[in-house]
Amino acid sequence: MSVIVELTIPSAAFELGQILRVEGPTQVTLETMVPLGGRPTPFVRIRNDARENFERSVSDHPSVNDIKLVDTHDDETLYSLDWEPSDASLLRKILDLDAVLLGATGGADVWRLEFRFPTHAALSAFQDYYTEENVDVSIERIYNPTKPDAGPWYGLTQPQRETLANAVAAGYYSLPRQISTKELADSFDISDQAVTERLRRGISTLVRNTLLVEEADD
C-alpha cells in the first residue's frame, strides 16, 4: 500500500531549494512535477513583486537550462523549469524510488514537501538515504492515503462522484463562481437542496477517507 509523507527540509539542503531560492518573506509554490522528455519538469508559482530577482537567480543556476513564463493571474506568475537534477540529489533519489511529489512550498529558509511513496519499503529506503547523507529532514506526518475499504472512488456513491466532478468542471468552486447551485441542480434534474446535500456529503466522505486517515498500526 502506498504511503504519504509530509516533511520539512532546509532550503539549502536540497538542490531544488537552492535553485528556487528567494529572499525575505517571499514563498514559492511547486504546483506539480511532470515528466517531460525523460526529465522531471517543475511548475512553480511566485508573487509578481518577486519576479525579477527570482528569474535572474534561477537562470544563473548551473543546472538550469531555461525558465519559461507559463501564465500570470492576479498577483502571481507560473513558470516551467527546464532542469536536470544531479545523480546525487535528494529528488533524484526520490524519483528512483518511484515516489511522486504531490506538492511543495518553500521560502528563504525552509521547504515543506509532500510525497507519495509506493510502499513502506520505499519510504524506509528514503529514510536510510537522508540519514546516511546527513540531510536535515524532519518528518511531520506519515499516513495512508485512503481507507482500505473505501473502494475505488474513496467511498463516494456514484451520484456524489458525478455531482462533485461536474461541479468542479463547471466552475462551481471557482472565484467567481461560474455556475449557480440551481443550474447545477437542473443539470441532474434534482432540487437545489438535493444537489447541495450531495456535495456536502461527498466532500465529507472524501475528507474522512483521505485527509483524516492516519496510518494503521503494523
Q: Are residues 18 and 102 in the same domain?
A: yes
Q: Are residues 27 and 91 in the same domain?
A: yes
Whether residue 217 lies inside any domain: the answer is: no
Q: Are residues 39 and 64 in the same domain?
A: yes
Q: Are residues 15 and 106 in the same domain?
A: yes
Q: Are residues 132 and 185 in the same domain?
A: no
Q: Are residues 188 and 80 in the same domain?
A: no
Give pLDDT tens digits for 109-140. Answer: 999 998 889 898 999 999 999 999 999 999 98
Domain boundary among 143, 170, 196: 143
> For the chain, what percent of residues have pLDDT higher than 70?
89
Provide the domain count of the chain: 2
Q: What residues does 66 pair with on adjacent strands?
A: 82
Provide DSSP, 112-133: EEEEEESSHHHHHHHHHHHHHT
Whether residue 149 lies inside any domain: the answer is: no
Q: Are residues 38 and 118 in the same domain?
A: yes
Give pLDDT tens digits for 185-201. Answer: 999 999 998 899 999 98
In the structure, what pLDDT confidence band is assigned to residue 67 with cuts at 50, 70 and 90? very high
Q: Are residues 190 and 87 in the same domain?
A: no
Give 65 or 74, the one with higher predicted confidence: 65
Q: Quote the pLDDT of residue 154.
A: 73
Q: Are residues 133 and 70 in the same domain?
A: yes
Task: Decide if pLDDT at 217 tops 50.
Answer: no
Cβ neighbors of 90 (< 8 A, separation 6 or more) are 9, 13, 14, 15, 129, 130, 133, 135
Q: Are residues 132 and 73 in the same domain?
A: yes
User: What is the extent of the structural domain holding 104?
Assistant: 3-143
Q: Are residues 114 and 46 in the same domain?
A: yes
